[in-house]
Structure 1
Amino acid sequence: MPELAVDNPLDSNVLLYDGEELLGAKQNRILNVSVLVAAGSKTVIPVSCVEEGRWSARSAFFSSARHAAYPELRRRKAEQLSAEPMARGAAQSAVWEEVRSKSARLHASSPTGAQADIFKTREKDLDLLRKRFALEPGHCGAVFAVGDRICLDYVSQPEAFARLYPKLLNGYLLDAIEWLDHEPAGYELFAAHYLATEAATRSRRPSAGLGEDVRFRGHGVVGSGLEFEGEIVQCCSFSSETAPAATTTIARPSQRHG
């Protein structure tokens, strides 16, 4: 199914982040969009399957994975959803194709074609890199260069970003291990991405939860955000297929503070 029902029994709003993976049920899924689920409410959110070969139930409920989808997968999903982010199953074929390709490149064995098995296969490599990218107190975002592509993630509240960062970092690093022998990115690449994100054409529509889902696409960038009561609660942007070619490796998180 390309959507899931979410029940928030808490007395506070809960942010569900683009690309977070949910394990279990009949297939592992990733969130197609970021959603702010209101306190004490239920909603339905669009998802994509990241386990192509399993159709049998492993559990009645989902559990949260220790990783989010890696940036290249999130980028391809964002490109597919840029026009219709809430459309049922709009990105599914592209997601399965990318997971198969990543699994082959990283020599990951998975009987069900699961993204989670790619992370499991390369856990030793990821563990060696994690300590180099510790999150500093007060940070509410990160910008990583992996290969010739930029990935930017931002959450308005540092505490919320701190909870998400370990998952996002695992995704960044899964992409990074394919580029460790290349030169680091220069400042110009980051600056160009930021300016392109600022200048991108935007569209808005009601979110699956609170606020508005914002989609943007411009020269070399594609991404999305969530706006609620005049505040950008969340934003993520990626280098698109038209981004300038470069030869880079992974770079440190941004120094942006809340």
Structure 2
Amino acid sequence: MLDVSARRRRALRHFGSPGTGRVRLLCFHYAGGTASAFREWPRRLPADVATVAVQLPGRDTRLDEPPHVHMGSVVAELLDVLDPLLDEPFACYGHSMGARVALALAHELRATSRPGPRALFVAASAATAARGRVRGWDEPDEGLIAYLRDLGGTPPIVFERPDLLDLFLPALRADLTVVATAGDPVRPPLDVPVHAFAGADDREASAARMAAWREETTGPFTLDVVPGGHFFDEDGVGRVFDVIAGTLAEPR
């Protein structure tokens, strides 16, 4: 059993130059993803925004640890590993499953009287009031693979290599189980700005389903429809960077 400091070293990837950021951007990956999805973000964001990506267990550098299958255990671990980072301004970005995790974390921070995020950026994840059934998580591997193909964004070589699928599918199934079984607890909305991003061609999290994120906060809400599907194209990703940079800019 790893202690908190060891888990912290494994769970948090500090991309860019450590200690230079005026505000931290805590990034939460999509189902089956890894923290490496955010490796290039420091190059695309202002120098005073420090990118800190969360790596959940069951993948990459944490492959030897069992993955979470309940949202409660995900959030409990995040409270432990992120606690030392909450003494300075921070915001949260989550893509797909990561958006659900970021929302659950923000509510738990408030419930435990911890500092909350300056802003919540959510992408490719239908809002609580507009969610449908999560596909694949309780199906045989063939159904899970079909769902993965439908989403797009997975390199074709993964589907051609049984060894890669054997490494990838357990974490993906566990992550989707987290999302499918999390439920929608009744709780007051947050009071932080929420910025939502919907891929124009995303059937899983259309603009209409993303628009319901406005119900998650009493603060400002914006929705950007960007080019791409569930995984945005280069122009769509560029719009995400522009909004994050503008939102977190130093007040004049």
Please state which band the TM-score falls in when normalised by the shorter chain: under 0.3
Higher strand share: 1
Q: Which has the higher helix share?
A: 2
TM normalised by structure 2 equals 0.28
Could you state the TM-score of these two structures normalised by the residue count of structure 1? 0.27
